[in-house]
């Protein structure tokens, strides 16, 4: 093979996805999820961090990818549950920005990241920072049919918004959010949340 052909081959390889790293992303993501389900956030953090490293290596020049967005989201949550709030916010914001480009500003995945950032700030008592994330996330959720698919989770999200607004001093809007949560629960009395988020303040409050 000539030098020119060799260089061309290397360039083509560099510009393509690395399947080995992509397999590593899936392996470490699964390992992180298992650790998370077991409540071992330290182990989850290590595995999610490896998943993100491999996601970045797999497609170094491709811009945002689904694997990078999900890995940053997972690692951000793990950091938050270990009380590493600044790192958590940086990673969740990175995941949000990527997902807005990948799936759009009102997609289900973008909404997950918005609500997660809202909860992260709410549980730190950062009420004014929490409100815009929760309001935007709930506005998007209304278009995704979540009131039909998981009304209990939607009511919980309105509870979060009410708490954030209350803490920000906007009592009128806080009451409106509480009334919306109450309406949803009354309309769906036998449908508790299918998705119940773990609060960030719970593990950190005992440290």
What are 52-84's pLDDT values in tens digits?
A: 999 999 877 667 899 999 999 999 999 999 999
Mean pLDDT (whole number) for 43-50? 98
The residue out of 85, 103, 121 marking a domain boundary is 103
CA distance 180 to 160: 12
Claim to verify: residue 171 and residue 192 sit in the same structural domain: yes
Residue 10: per-residue pLDDT: 35
Is 28 within 8 Å of 12 (Cβ atoms)? no
Claim to verify: residue 99 and residue 110 sit in the same structural domain: no
In a domain, 203, yes or no: yes
Claim to verify: residue 79 and residue 125 sit in the same structural domain: no
Claim to verify: residue 179 and residue 202 sit in the same structural domain: yes
Mean pLDDT (whole number) for 83-102? 97
| CATH number of the CATH domain containing 156 | 1.25.40.10
CA distance 20 to 104: 29
In a domain, 10, yes or no: no
Domain range holding 151?
A: 105-207
* pLDDT exceeds 60 at position 88: yes
Helices (H), 59-104: 66-81, 85-103
Residue 13: per-residue pLDDT: 41
Claim to verify: residue 98 and residue 166 sit in the same structural domain: no
Claim to verify: residue 84 and residue 133 sit in the same structural domain: no
Claim to verify: residue 83 and residue 115 sit in the same structural domain: no
Strand (E) or helix (H) holding 39: none
- Tell me the per-residue pLDDT of 138-168, one tens digit each, with 9 for 90 and over: 999 988 989 899 999 999 999 999 999 999 9
* pLDDT exceeds 90 at position 17: no
In a domain, 27, yes or no: yes
In a domain, 67, yes or no: yes
Total domains present in the chain? 2
Best CA proximity match to 46, nearest among 32, 66, 65: 32
Claim to verify: residue 162 and residue 68 sit in the same structural domain: no
- Tell me the per-residue pLDDT of 99-127, one tens digit each, with 9 for 90 and over: 999 999 999 999 999 999 999 999 999 99
Best CA proximity match to 55, nearest among 13, 27, 89: 27
């Amino acid at each position: 093979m000539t030098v020119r052909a060799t260089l061309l081959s290397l360039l083509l390889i560099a510009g393509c996805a690395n399947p080995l790293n992509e397999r590593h992303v899936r392996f470490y993501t699964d390992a992180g999820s298992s650790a998370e389900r077991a409540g071992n956030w330290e182990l989850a953090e290590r595995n999610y961090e490896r998943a993100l490293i491999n996601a970045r290596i797999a497609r170094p020049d491709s811009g945002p990818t689904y694997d990078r967005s999900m890995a940053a989201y997972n690692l951000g949550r793990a950091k938050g549950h270990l009380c590493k709030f600044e790192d958590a916010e940086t990673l969740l914001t990175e995941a949000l920005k990527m997902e807005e480009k990948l799936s759009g500003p009102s997609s289900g995945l973008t909404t997950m990241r918005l609500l997660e950032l809202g909860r992260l700030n709410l549980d730190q008592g950062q009420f004014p920072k929490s409100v815009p994330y929760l309001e935007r996330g709930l506005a998007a959720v209304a278009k995704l049919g979540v009131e039909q698919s998981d009304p209990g989770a939607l009511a919980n999200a309105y509870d979060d918004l009410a708490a954030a607004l209350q803490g920000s001093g906007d009592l009128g809007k806080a009451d409106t959010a509480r009334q919306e949560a109450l309406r949803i629960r009354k309309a769906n009395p036998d449908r508790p949340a299918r998705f119940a988020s773990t609060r960030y303040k719970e593990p950190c409050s005992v440290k």
